[in-house]
Amino acid sequence: MATQETATLGGGCFWCLEAVYNEMEGVVSAISGYMGGHLDNPSYHDVCTGRTGHVEVVQVTFDSGVTPYREVLEVFFAIHDPTSRDRQGNDAGSQYRSVIFYHDDRQRGVAQELIRELDAEEIWGQPIVTEVRPASTFYTAEDYHQEYFRNNPQQPYCSFVVAPKVRKFREKFAGKMRKTS
């Protein structure tokens, strides 16, 4: 029996996270959107101003019997820089901050424990600045943002930013890739 769970994650441009999670075993859906701000129904243009408080996020629905929440987070930490405040590469602004929006106390605990473990390992040489915050209203991004990498693989941002993250996922988590028929 499938046990569906939701994870909502912000780690830079949502195109990157969505592209990776769409290839992960156990993921039912990965939807680009916005969370954490004060404006109802924000648009991409609104969020890009950096004044709404929203973060570009991906809401991942997954079968936790196939892929536990901790593994979803392990992928998250492997494919973005959790030590960079309000930026990922050339994408700068609070809308690109690293954040885990938890949906229950168990998720909060798992996220905080993993951050402590990763900080102790000093993988990045700097402390993790990823925020752990309660989930709030999720606003789905405009249609053209959904499946962006799949629909625009030759677009320069996809070639130079998204594709390397997808490759990193495929190499580091080959055993967690969705099985193709």
Active-site residue (options: 13, 16, 48, 158) = 13
DSSP string spanning 4-73? EEEEEEEES-HHHHHHHHTTBTTEEEEEEEEES-SSSS--HHHHHTT-S--EEEEEEEEETTTS-HHHHH
CA distance 21 to 27: 7
| CA-to-CA dists, residue 135 to 63, 122, 132, 181, angstroms | 19, 28, 9, 35
- Clarify whether 13 is annotated catalytic: yes
Q: Across the chain, which distance is largest between two alpha carbons, in Å?
A: 45
User: Which has the closest alpha carbon to 102: 65, 146, 138?
Assistant: 138
What residues are labeled active site? Answer: 13
